[in-house]
Amino acid sequence: MKKYLSEFIGTFVLVLFACGVAAVTGCSSEANAAYILTSLAFGGVIVAMAYSIGNISGCHINPAVSIAVWLSKKMSTKDFIGYIIAQFLGGIAGAAVLMALIGTGKGLGANGLYESDILKSLIVEIILTFVFVLAVLGATSKSENGKVAGLVIGGSLTLVHLLGIYFTGTSVNPARSLGPALMLGGDALANVWVFIAAPPVGGVLAALVWKLLSCKSK
């Protein structure tokens, strides 16, 4: 339960703070200070959580990461299910608190389709998630990387946001997307399935590619 609680807290913080920064700064697809600040906020939360709850749960706080770790046989099915539930509940709780603080007028950092195109949005999210999860798997593959893994993973999340915000607002995390969409309703909720479906596909692809690469290295 400590692991599940850690995942709940981590995802709660991610949505409240990182989506909160996106909302209060007015982040949009236009490159400006808010765009950069939001990218840094997502990466910064991951760094902070990695060095606080990482030793307890591994700091997945993302179903796409958990599915890749599970496929890599580094966690049990029971823990995988527990992590997913905790992450979604944490994301919903974080969005609920954010809505209570600022209302829904600023958007709560919800994701949106790129050019109203479902296929393009799916492809973008799969690619972004693939890159991020591959970085996670690589950074955590050796115990000696432990001291810097959080920085690498946080930097990777910042990187994918620097590109992805322009297209979809960057999800790469179904739990991060569902909470704001539930609070907002409307188009955000109608289209949230894209941001729930695409990241796990990217995570699975990353796990398969990492397995291929690591086997070759041996």
pLDDT of the chain, 218 residues: tens digit per residue: 899 999 999 999 999 999 999 999 999 888 899 999 999 999 999 999 999 998 999 899 999 999 999 999 999 999 999 999 999 999 999 999 999 999 999 999 999 999 999 999 999 999 999 999 999 999 988 887 778 989 999 999 999 999 999 999 999 999 999 999 999 999 999 999 999 999 999 999 999 999 998 875 44
- Mark 60-86 as b/e (b = at least 16 C-beta within 10 Å): bbbbbbbbbbbbbeebeeebbebbbeb
What is the predicted pLDDT for the residue at 142? 83
Domains and CATH numbers, the chain: 2-217 (1.20.1080.10)
Assign 45 to helix, strand or coil: helix
Helix 192-217 and helix 118-139: axis angle, to 10°? Answer: 40
Question: Largest alpha-carbon pair distance within the chain?
Answer: 53
- What pTM was computed for the model? 0.94
What is the predicted pLDDT for the residue at 218? 47
Chain mean position to CA 74 = 19
What is the predicted pLDDT for the residue at 144? 78
Any idea which residue has 């993973």 for tokens? 153
What is the predicted pLDDT for the residue at 216? 57
What is the predicted pLDDT for the residue at 77? 96
Would you put residue 28 in left (φ > 0), alpha (ψ -120 to 50) or beta?
beta
